[in-house]
Structure 1
Amino acid sequence: MKILIIEDELALSKTIEEFLRTENYLVETAQDYNSGLEKALTYDYDCILLDIMLPGGSGLDILKELKNQHKKQPVIILSAKDSVEDKVLGLEIGADDYLAKPFHLAELLARVKSIIRRNARDGEQLLQYKNVTVDPDNRLVLVDGKEMTLNRKEYDLFYYFILRPNKLMEKTSLIESVWGDHTDQADNLDFIYSQIKNIRKKLKEAQADMDLQAVYGVGYKLV
């Protein structure tokens, strides 16, 4: 699961980033309006943590652009401005929740988990597809009730697919979903092929009623 933090307070942004990474989230950051808007419109995130006061513009304008572009990405506003007017305006524009600074990281995590559940899985605690069940909170994959062991990257990729069954995913999207801001550190595409190969093998061994199908020259889809 991937989260974007748009926050100009570097110390706070770093603290949130490190905390969420320990919870096995893939985290990207932006420190100003322009870079935040570009990432929010270009990539897909499971949740965006958005400050209102940003260098170069307002976080509320980023919300407006997401709405105008029909980008349905869950947004939690993080702001020191705790007035009722700001909260109501943010929620009216399209934010899913509002958290006033300072806040406890445990509360932030609870809000993030709740919003991801509500938006990505229509409020269901578990994700079910054919004979496979995924428990995102505990990062568990069950096939006919038996756990299928996946390493961290394998789980992240599989979760990305199972949220989008039968949808063709391009290799570039898959790479970005795994590596995020560090995509340029990957020398080639072999690591994606290796992860896909391992997942396919484990699905077959577990007798899952699904497979990752390669579409030559384009990418893969879960069928």
Structure 2
Amino acid sequence: MKILIIEDELVLQRSIAQYLTGEGNICSMASTYAQALERLNAYQYDCILLDLTLPDGEGLQILNYLKRMNRTEGVIIISARNSIDQKIEGLSLGADDYLIKPFHLSELNARILAIVRRKSAHGERHIEFHEIRIDLDAKEVLVNGKLVYMTKKEFDLLLYFVSNKGKVISKSAAVEHIWGDDSDMVDSFDFIYTHIKNIRKKLTDAGSRDYFQSVYGIGYKFTEA
């Protein structure tokens, strides 16, 4: 999963990023309101961790922005503010959860998983697309009940495309999804072609139809049409 951590306490920010990265996620970070908007204007995320107090703005303003732009990311407010009115306001503006500092990182991770599962699979622990079944807990892909081995990046990329089926995904968006902040250091997006080629072969070898379509000059989409 791709997670944006909007937190100005750098020690806490690094601690959260280190833990979530160790759990197999890709983390981007923003320490200010301006950096957060820059990230959000450039990329999509699976979940956003949002501190309410930023040096140059309010986290609630970011919730308003997400609402105006009809963004669908899950949002967990992480705040030292333990006011019931603050919680109600944040949740009414579209936040999915509210976690009071200090908190255990394992609890934060569990809440992220619950929110992303609910949003991407309507509360289910798996996603199905015809003969393809993706188990979100076991991180496994099955075709007609047969297990298909995939690397972590292949699994993340397939899940990204299936979750956005029918939408054109640019190469740059695919690269940023599986590399996070490090995507800025990538000289070429050609390796995405290799990843998708490998995923296609593994799926079709297991008996699946090929649902990937190339969109000339842009990227790919995952669709029946």
* Same fold? TM cut 0.5: yes
User: Which amino acid letter does the alignment assign opposite residue 93 of structure 1?
Assistant: L
Q: CA offsets per residue over residues 152-205 of structure 1, 9 Å max, x none?
A: 111111111010122221112112112221112212122111111111110111
Q: Show structure 1 runs of 5+ residues with no match.
A: none
User: Which amino acid letter does the alignment assign opposite residue 167 of structure 1?
Assistant: K
Q: RMSD over aligned Cα, in angstroms?
A: 1.2
Task: Report the counterpart of residue 90 of structure 2 in structure 1.
Answer: 90
| TM alignment of 1:128-143, pairs within 5 A | 128-143=128-143
Q: Distance in 2 between matches of 1:127 and 1:32?
A: 35
Task: Report the counterpart of residue 150 of structure 2 in structure 1.
Answer: 150
Q: Distance in 2 between matches of 1:80 and 1:123?
A: 29
Equivalent residues of 1:113, 1:137 under 8 A apart? no
User: Which amino acid letter does the alignment assign opposite residue 201 of structure 1?
Assistant: K
Task: Report the counterpart of residue 114 of structure 2 in structure 1.
Answer: 114
| TM alignment of 1:23-42, pairs within 5 A | 23-42=23-42
Structure 1 residue 39 displacement after superposition: 1.4
Please state if 1:21 is matched with 2:21: yes
Q: CA offsets per residue over residues 82-134 of structure 1, 9 Å max, x none?
A: 11111111011111100000101111111001100111122122111111111
Task: Report the counterpart of residue 172 of structure 1 in structure 2.
Answer: 172
Q: Show structure 2 runs of 5+ residues with no match.
A: none
User: Which amino acid letter does the alignment assign opposite residue 186 of structure 1?
Assistant: V
User: Which amino acid letter does the alignment assign opposite residue 43 of structure 2?
Assistant: Y
Equivalent residues of 2:172, 2:189 under 8 A apart? no
Structure 1 residue 211 displacement after superposition: 2.9
Q: Distance in 2 between matches of 1:137 and 1:42?
A: 29
Task: Report the counterpart of residue 12 of structure 1 in structure 2.
Answer: 12
Task: Report the counterpart of residue 185 of structure 1 in structure 2.
Answer: 185
| TM alignment of 1:187-206, pairs within 5 A | 187-206=187-206
Q: Distance in 1 between matches of 2:33 and 2:48?
A: 13
Q: Distance in 1 between matches of 2:164 and 2:9?
A: 34
Q: CA offsets per residue over residues 20-79 of structure 1, 9 Å max, x none?
A: 111111111101111112212432111000000111011011101111121122100000
Q: Cα 1:42–1:185, aligned 2, differ >3 Å: closer, same or farther?
A: closer
Q: Distance in 2 between matches of 1:59 and 1:121?
A: 27
User: Which amino acid letter does the alignment assign opposite residue 92 of structure 2?
Assistant: E
User: Which amino acid letter does the alignment assign opposite residue 73 of structure 1?
Assistant: E
Q: Distance in 1 between matches of 2:215 and 2:84?
A: 50
Task: Report the counterpart of residue 52 of structure 2 in structure 1.
Answer: 52
Q: Distance in 2 between matches of 1:65 and 1:19?
A: 28
Please state if 1:102 is matched with 2:96: no
Equivalent residues of 2:6, 2:48 under 8 A apart? yes
Instruction: Point out 4+ residue stretches in structure 1 off by more than 6 angstroms.
Output: none
